[in-house]
Chains A and B, each alone.
Chain A
Amino acid sequence: MPRIVSITLQNTDDARPIIAAITADNPGARINAMPGIVKIDRDDSLTVRRASVEDRLGRVWDPQEIHLSIVSMAGNLDEDDDYFNLSWS
């Protein structure tokens, strides 16, 4: 059985470019909209890429800004200046 990693973000103006970047960069990601939030699931691993969010946002974006929009997550986290990754080992 594939192990599911997951990230839940608020459905807000700040988060929508992040959601769009995740959708574009992670083929097979499953997007579940609930009132106020969006839960994104994917098998095994999921990455938020800084460059990809910046393209959509039109400004410099620090991956740690995700702290302002994140609601929940599942998976082991690896975070650096250019990405935010969730995976099961």
Chain B
Amino acid sequence: MNAPLKLGLKQRYSLLTSGLDWTPSYQPFEKIYPYAEFEGIKIHDWSKWEDPFRLTMDAYWKFQAEKERKLYAVLDSFAQNNGQMNLSDVRYVNALKLFLTGVSPLEYQAHRGFAHVGRHVPGVGPRIAAQMQSLDELRHVQTQVHTLSHYNKFFDGFSEFRHMHDRVWYLSVPKSFFDDARTAGPFEYFIAIGFAFEYVLTNLLFVPFMSGAAYNGDLATVTFGFSAQSDESRHMTLGIEVIKFLLEQDPGNLPIVQKWVDKWFWRGHRVLGLVAMMMDYMLPKKIMSWREAWEIYFTEAGGSLFEDLARYGLKVPKYADVATAEADHLSHQNWATFYQYCHAAGFHTWLPSAEEMDWLSEKYPTTFDKYYRPRFEMWAEMEKEGKRFYNNALPQLCSVCQIPMVYTEHGDHGATSFRVSDYKGEKYHTCSDGCKDIFDGEPEKYSQAWLPVHQIFQGNCGGAGLEDVLKWYKLNLGADNLQQAGSPDQKLWDEWMAAKDKVAG
């Protein structure tokens, strides 16, 4: 029971924020908050902001410290007990390489972004929430690096994650996604990351994938994953609060917010294609298909959310239907891409086994046997003949999402989808209507894209040959890249398993 005289939660929270703000007397408002108005968002009364979590600073520190204690106890015992040997299979480790190089640096970007927004929105409630989130995101990157440093002791592809994130061709996909958000104004950043990414899409990244980590024996990753995810509920709440607040404050905010929701939903959907592939192809023991995860976390959860937001006039993101249809293709198209370009990737690939292909046929009855099984069977034949297929030319990239232009036409999945825009006499190619709309909405921004393939051609990536570029990536040829079979990782794993068998007799 509460002690007498103790304040209630709502009172405690209002004491935290009330009086924390003040009216400036000797500096004009615009100088203190230079980013507050240029996006066209109108806020009339910041005091209407409500933070439903009502977390006071003392409680915040207490809970975060407790989370860290729990996490590090698990990491310690994972290391002590050589937990890496209990994985379902060594192929799983490749998903962690992709996670550390592609996702963890985004946590850091989120930290920077929320620190910036926390400084620049002129409302005390969201400033406190953004400040807490900024600290959380820093915690996420730190705990992820700590956790995965254990794998770095044994496996290739981990050690240069930070360097790789800034240079490697496919990592420009997540990197440019966050660069795009952080170079927008504070309100767009809030909608991009707080709402579209955290609320609408982040479950797809953290929940089924981390559950998959548990299923594949990775006690360490599941623990950091869920430790991070425990902060995520607060982040999601901030995201939904921001959007409701903006829509309630001024009717003129609706079209601006809608445009951002459309844009960031599509941007996020493209980035999450990496996760789709991790779930369907990189987890040795599958937990659910990408399609099923999409049904639960977008169609069902997003459906309820957007029905709720309809009262403000906000619509389901444009091209949500296309994204849903693409869920039947995304993971296969992405895995096929990495299969043929894994000589230039920081992780290994393989062809799905016969049992895995049957699982894929069952999960993707309308698409897998028609389009993707034949492709994999053809490559299996080529492997058997000793002619393992590597694509030796560089792919055309989308000017917006920066993914190779591998996606197919909605309605004809045997045909690549090509879109092109003209801006100041130059052609800009995009992979889809979603990406083209984004380009056409802000050609000034996207015409500046640093596209890895073009940068290689311009001689800015260490040289013209594959080996020069890999060196510039700090990617260790013959160890970090190529097939899983024959890799040093596989060799080490086979030795471990053989030693285990010997002990077991």
Given known contacts A36-B226, A78-B52, A72 and B207 CB-to-CB distance under 8 angstroms: yes
B41-85 vs A, CB cutoff 8 Å, 1 = contact: the mask equals: 000000000001111000100010011001000000000000000
- Contact between B305 and A74, CB atoms less than 8 A apart: yes
Compute the total of residue contacts between A and B using a CB distance below 8 Å: 100
Interface residues of B in 177-228 (CB under 8 A from A): 203, 206-208, 210-215, 222, 226
Binding site for A on B (CB under 8 A): 1-2, 8-10, 52-55, 59, 63, 66-67, 70, 203, 206-208, 210-215, 222, 226, 229-230, 232-234, 236-237, 240, 287-288, 300-301, 303-305, 307-308, 311
- Contact between B230 and A69, CB atoms less than 8 A apart: yes
Give which listed residue, A4, A60, A72, A88, contacts B233 with CB less than 8 A. Answer: A72
What are some 29 contacts across the A-B interface (CB < 8 A)? A3-B308, A4-B300, A5-B304, A6-B301, A34-B211, A35-B287, A36-B210, A36-B222, A36-B226, A37-B207, A60-B1, A64-B9, A65-B63, A67-B233, A68-B63, A68-B70, A68-B230, A70-B229, A70-B230, A71-B229, A73-B237, A76-B308, A77-B237, A78-B52, A79-B52, A80-B9, A81-B8, A88-B307, A88-B308
Determine how close the nearest CB of chain B comes to the CB of A43; give it in whole angstroms.
10
Residues on the A chain within 8 Å of B226, using CB = 10, 36-37, 71
Residues on the A chain within 8 Å of B222, using CB = 36
- Contact between B207 and A64, CB atoms less than 8 A apart: no
* Distance between Cα atoms of A76 and B233 in the complex (Å): 11
Interface residues of A in 36-89 (CB under 8 A from B): 36-37, 39, 60, 64-65, 67-81, 88-89
Determine how close the nearest CB of chain A comes to the CB of B243; give it in whole angstroms.
12
- Contact between A35 and B211, CB atoms less than 8 A apart: yes
* Distance between Cα atoms of A65 and B304 in the complex (Å): 27
Determine how close the nearest CB of chain B comes to the CB of A52; give it in whole angstroms.
15
How many interface residues does A have (CB within 8 Å)? 32
* Distance between Cα atoms of A4 and B301 in the complex (Å): 7
* Distance between Cα atoms of A37 and B229 in the complex (Å): 12
Interface of B is mostly: helix
Give which listed residue, A35, A72, A89, contacts B229 with CB less than 8 A. Answer: A72
- Contact between A37 and B211, CB atoms less than 8 A apart: yes
Give which listed residue, B55, B67, B206, B236, contacts A73 with CB less than 8 A. Answer: B236
Q: Which residue of A lies closest to B70 (CB)?
A: A68
Residues on the A chain within 8 Å of B9, using CB = 64, 79-81
Given known contacts A36-B222, A79-B9, A81-B9, A72 and B67 CB-to-CB distance under 8 angstroms: no
